[in-house]
Structure 1
Amino acid sequence: MPQLGGLAMGARRDRLAHRRKVCGYSQEQLADVLNVDRTSIGRWERGEASPRPFLWPKLARLLRVTPQELDRLLQPDSTEPAAGAETKSGGLDDVIRRGFLQLLTVTAAANVFPAHADATDHSHGYRPMNEHLWKVYSLASSKRFVYPLVCDQTAELATAIRGASTETARKQLSQEAGDLFQLAGEILFDGSRYTEAAHCYTLAASAAKEAGNPDLWACALTRHAYIGLYGDQKYRETIPLLELARAVAERGDTALSTRHWVAAVQAEAYAGIGELDACNRALDQAEKVHSLSGAVHNGGWLRFDGSRLAEERGTCLVRLGRFDLAEGALNEALRTTPSRRRRGSVLTDLAFLGAQRRDVDQIISYAGDALDLARQSASGYAARRLHSLQPRLVPFLSDRRVSDLNDRIAALAYAD
């Protein structure tokens, strides 16, 4: 059965039909405007098919809704199976969400049992697999392919927690749960599934607190803050969460880079609200990561080593409107040969500079390269970054090259 947004198709979309009628279209009229077969609209509304991704921008404009609102209109009105129908899996999202809820419930229930002395390392069988999954995630061109493996590991860990009855066992297994939840959140965040990602990060923070690991806890809070920075762009509301992450990180291992990573993310939040001085102070704090020696991160839930600082400084300067200073930092970031996703983000920022300078050739060059990388990685994060460029392209849409680029970005931004 076809899939849309992780949900099985077949349920009606009455909200879509209602919106069409509100906007004054019959099914035939809307089909004519979209230049699709006259039966297509009825099939969409019955849940038998979905519009092709390249039609989404125009459909959103015709229905006078935002892309996010259109996405909701295209979700089935009900996920309940029809009477007499065979009950099937709701997709990977449902599987992993149920596993997480089960794991959280089991972890909470375990706390009511009396603790006993126990020196066994209960994380031995799970930590190596978690570490392996982070490596696979970092190397995967499309992050969603790691999802089934995380589901399987979640089920294994839930079983282990169910059998743990001592305080030591609970703490060790809660730490592995906090690790795994952050990885799941990263996968969902990359797919622009921000509500589910926030849920994972909340579970990760709860598990890390139970485990008594401040660094793990602070990293979960910091990842949660990224949703405000890139998902909702609610910079001011994100600052208190990052302050909490900073306070928790101060209780952690001073040999690790946790507090410096928090500072780097704080800089982005301050840049979002135009606080140049606060942004610079946070970046200066982040730069102190270079004074650390030894293993400053674990390559999993903590991966900050300062190698991204040029990229992050450039992003901050773009947000602050300091385009004169941003280009040097962004070009320096490109020389570090970052991952596809990171490189695409840097190229998008350079396209922003091109728009500011009204340099169409720079826009086409950098945004075109970023678009190619986004397609290769199938990253929702990369698509979202490119989508944020579109308002800057409006003054140049009379140029056929820019108009074509804008259409290709729009199609990418809404692709499954």
Structure 2
Amino acid sequence: MAVRRTGFVRARKAAGFTQESFAEVMHVDRSTVARWEQGTREPLPYQRPKLARLLKITMNELDELLHPEVESVAATQHASPPAVVVPSPRVVQAELLTQYEALTSAYRQIDYQAGSAAVYEQTVSQLNRLMSMADNVPSSHYQRFALVLGDTAQLAAWLAIDHQDYGAARRYTSLALSSAQEGEEAQLHAYVLGIMSYIHLHAGRGPDAVRLLLAALHLAENPRFGISQAVHSWLSEAIGEAYALAGDHRAGAAALAKAERLFDGVDQARRTGVARVLQRG
């Protein structure tokens, strides 16, 4: 039977969050927070470091809040059970993150050359492995881990779109966007907003796609973030399509012309990747 996590509720309130505001910063629905507190759902592994930071507690303290039944059962026992030595989980090292970065890059190249079917399953498997590692990432590597996770998630989202699995694509883009924010990486943030816009475009929701792309272009046009011209070109191409779908053909034509000018300035090495992205649209 589920045990209500009253300690979790108190910690959330002590940190100054309502269920709604907590759901917003965690990028989940309010009902998900409610189920966490009711004890009917567990936060996913990759969400827990952020939960602990928001609640201003340690990971061990968070684990105690999420499993109050363990404490209550132990309190009712007259004798303590024999001690069990549990090996510490393997701490994620920088070398492992380097290997995952290389794998994601390799999967992306295979996608360019052989198509998404060749790497979709492997990319999703890698994404799941990364999420399972989240609890073992030291704080010194967490920002880099978030970017590796986000990059893999955005690739998985593109591959899901290629497979017309838009439900999976939405889940992967949500994870990628959260990771970009955690890693404070504006280019990944803008890129993921662009991917999300394509999901809306495929559903015929031009105005929603425009809204996302305007936010992405706001990032791309800020020189402080150093977003590449290749990504800027692609976003301009995408918003041109979105404007056209929304019925604003003049704005669409202007955006497409801007995309062409930007694309002319992209070096040849990057053009293949940009062209591959444009083909997906």
Partner of 2:113: 139
Partner of 2:18: none
Say yes or no: does 1:186 pair with 2:158: yes
Say yes or no: does 1:287 pair with 2:229: no
Report Cα offsets for 1:193-240 as digits up to 9, x if no partner.
21221121111111011111111111111001101111x101122211
8 Å contact from structure 1 (residues 122, 172) kept in 2: no
Which residue of 39, 44, 47 corresponds with 1:102?
44
Which residue of 126, 129, 137 corresponds with 2:103?
129
Deviation of the 1:125 alpha carbon: 2.1
Which residue of 247, 250, 254 corresponds with 1:277?
250
Partner of 1:242: 213
Deviation of the 1:276 alpha carbon: 2.0
Distance 1:249 1:110 in 2: 32
Identify if the C-alpha distance between structure 1 residues 294 and 308 changes in structure 2 by more than 3 Å, giving closer, same or farther.
closer
Which residue of 233, 251, 260 corresponds with 1:260?
233
Distance 2:128 2:110 in 1: 19
Q: Name structure 1 gaps, 5 residues minimum.
A: 1-100, 313-341, 346-380, 382-416
Aligned-pair identity in percent equals 21
Distance 1:237 1:262 in 2: 14
Q: Match of 2:248, as an amino acid?
A: E
Q: Name structure 2 gaps, 5 residues minimum.
A: 1-42, 59-92
SS in structure 2 opposite 1:282?
A: helix
Q: Match of 2:239, as an amino acid?
A: Q
User: How do 1:386-401 and structure 2 match up within 5 A?
Assistant: none
How many positions carry a matched residue from both structures?
201
SS in structure 1 opposite 2:145?
A: helix
Partner of 1:18: none
TM-score, length of structure 2 as denominator length: 0.62
Say yes or no: does 1:219 pair with 2:173: no
Distance 1:127 1:221 in 2: 21
Distance 1:298 1:156 in 2: 31
TM-score, length of structure 1 as denominator length: 0.43
8 Å contact from structure 1 (residues 256, 296) kept in 2: no
Report Cα offsets for 1:7-40 as digits up to 9, x if no partner.
xxxxxxxxxxxxxxxxxxxxxxxxxxxxxxxxxx
8 Å contact from structure 1 (residues 201, 220) kept in 2: yes
Distance 2:122 2:171 in 1: 19
Partner of 1:152: 125
Which residue of 164, 178, 182 corresponds with 2:137?
164
8 Å contact from structure 1 (residues 204, 220) kept in 2: yes
Q: Match of 1:165, as an amino acid?
A: P
Q: Match of 1:204, as an amino acid?
A: A
Report Cα offsets for 1:275-300 as digits up to 9, x if no partner.
2210121112212224535577497x
Q: Match of 1:227, as an amino acid?
A: I
Q: Match of 1:269, as an amino acid?
A: A
Deviation of the 1:149 alpha carbon: 1.0
Distance 1:291 1:161 in 2: 40
Report Cα offsets for 1:178-204 as digits up to 9, x if no partner.
111111112221222212211211111
Report Cα offsets for 1:308-337 as digits up to 9, x if no partner.
79xx7xxxxxxxxxxxxxxxxxxxxxxxxx
8 Å contact from structure 1 (residues 267, 280) kept in 2: yes
Q: Match of 1:288, as an amino acid?
A: R
8 Å contact from structure 1 (residues 256, 297) kept in 2: no
Report Cα offsets for 1:119-172 as digits up to 9, x if no partner.
95763121001101112222334x344233123312432344221231x41110
